[in-house]
Structures are given as C-alpha cells and as structure tokens.
Amino acid sequence: MESEKASRRAMEKNDEERHGISEEEKEDYTDERTAYGTKYRKELEAQIVTDELTGTANLLGFTNRLEQFMGLTRREKIPASLVYLDIDHFKKVNDTFGHAAGDVVLKEVGALLTRSVREVDVIARIGGEEIAILLEGTKTEQAREKVEKLREEIQTLTFKNYPDLKVTASFGIAPLNGAKTLEDIRAHADKALYNAKNSGRNNVKVYSAQ
C-alpha cells in the first residue's frame, strides 16, 4: 500500500515537473483560491443584508444591527434613537409618474440619507417606501434636530428626467432606552410615524407613551 502511494506521488510529481508547476506556484495558486473564496463569501454576505435598489441595508441587516445595539444600550447605557420615515403619497408618485420614477425617488432619498448621517449610523430600506435609521449615541432631542434637517432636505430634492416631481416625508422617532424588546422599539417608532402621518404628513413626531 505504501509503495503504491509513493508511486502515485512520484507520478504526480513527474506530471507537475513536466507541466512546469513548482511547489511555490502550487502554494500561490492555493492562496489565490483561498483569497478568492473569502472575498466571494464576504460579497455574498453583504448582498444578503443589502437592499439592491438603494444600496442601504435591508430589513435583515438592519434587524441584526438593531438587536446588537439594543444589547449594548442596556449594558453600557449608551443613548440611541430609532427613526422610521415614510415617503408621503408614494403610491401617487408611482401612479402619476410610473414605477421607474418611484425607484429614482427611493435611490435619491437613500443617497441623501447616506450622505447626511455619520458612518456609525445605519440606514435601511425596510419596506416599499419605508426607511429606518439607527442614530447611535444620539439622544432624542439631538435626533429630532437631525431629522428635521433631513425632512427639509428631502422636500428640496430634484429628480433627473422628472422636473415636476417633488416629494416629502414623515418621520417617527423612538429612543432605544425606552424599550425592553425589539418588538417594543419597533412599535414605538411605528406609533410616532403614524402620528406624524395623521398630523398632515411632512413632519416629525417623537414617541410618547401617553
């Protein structure tokens, strides 16, 4: 058996030498394949948690980060705010200008938000026209000031090929330290957003337990 293995290895070595493949080249090739495999896995993992249209996080990616930060908030008492926003009358945008225009709006709003927040903050498209923002290390009043600026910037956006198209957005803010579970914080942000939409839209509301 050992002699057969030795013979097989000798034949493999002869083939490698005949084709000009050195041990160093084999190691380089193996390293290259390993690096490619690692890069591919990372790209695949990024795709799983990224919204294809806007390039922001998707619901899965955002939920993972929100869960992590809620734990950190409880342990370290670090403030943070969850923001939900809806693009107002988005169905009317699609009905009037077409779904391609709706996609342009989502892309431009996503790009504006990405430019306007810090790298530590997280932006995600979590529904059709619904976007979430996790403002880390941000108290409620600071979050409100930031969100008011975002609201103003959104209503001044212009869209290529759609000169007559204008949009506004409604925002709901909820502090993470006011929630015990993931379901709680989502419900709080939802309630604040609902209040903003019921108050004429294009405004900002902060969650209140009352």
14-38 pLDDT, tens digit each: 544 444 555 555 455 454 544 444 4
Same domain as 80, residue 10: no
Domain extent for 28? 2-48
Same domain as 6, residue 30: yes
Same domain as 155, residue 76: yes
- Is 129 designated active site? yes
Give, in order, the Cα–Cα distances in Å from 68 to each of 61, 65, 71, 191, 204: 11, 5, 5, 23, 26
Same domain as 128, residue 34: no
Of 24, 129, 130, 145, the catalytic one is 129
* Six-digit token string for 203: 């405004």
Residue 3 pLDDT greater than 80, yes or no:
no
Local confidence band at 167 (pLDDT 50, 70, 90 cut-offs): very high
Would you say 133 and 65 are in contact if contact means Cβ atoms under 8 Å apart? Answer: no
Residue 177 pLDDT greater than 90, yes or no:
no
Helix/strand/coil for 50? strand
Q: What is the DSSP letter of 176?
A: G
Entry pTM:
0.78
Same domain as 9, residue 90: no
